[in-house]
Amino acid sequence: MVRSIEITKASVRDRLVVDVEVWMNNPDDFDFSPRASVDGNSLSICNEGDEGARTSIELDNEQMGAAERDRMVELRVKFAVQGMHGVLVHKTTNPRDGPNAKKLAEPRWKTVLPLSL
């Protein structure tokens, strides 16, 4: 289950884009079904069936115009699990250094949600 949801940024590109950080209870949780709604100038993101995990942000006029025009929001989600690894004692060097380095995998997800006004 979702522990908490936090909106980190909202911007307008082709449509309204919202960056969200989602904290899960444990690494095996896969139950996240986001829903987006607008009430006045406030955009709310919540998990379906879980009213405790809800967050909102005030939209400016440009963001509100894009939301009303498209009636969709692009949601970019970063997942995290609090306390999963404990305290890291022996830190290794950054494995992404060097000309042939590969980018490390990150728990990210991107989707387009219908917006209920």
Give the neighbor-by-neighbor strand order of the sheet with 16-24: 2-12, 16-24, 72-81, 108-116, 34-39, 42-47, 50-58
Q: What is the pTM of this model?
A: 0.78
Q: What's the rounded mean pLDDT across residues 2-20?
A: 93
- Rounded to whole angstroms, the Cα distance separating 80 from 32 reads 12
Q: Cα-flanking dihedrals φ and ψ of residue 46, to 5°?
A: -140, 165
Q: Cα-flanking dihedrals φ and ψ of residue 66, to 5°?
A: -65, -40
Q: What is the pLDDT of residue 49?
A: 85
- Rounded to whole angstroms, the Cα distance separating 29 from 81 reads 9
Weakest-pLDDT range from 4-8, 18-22, 52-56, 93-97: 93-97
- Residue ranges per domain, the chain? 2-84+107-116
Q: To the nearest whole number, what is the mean pLDDT of the chain?
A: 85
Tens-place pLDDT, residues 52-98: 889 999 999 999 999 999 999 999 999 888 766 555 566 666 666 66
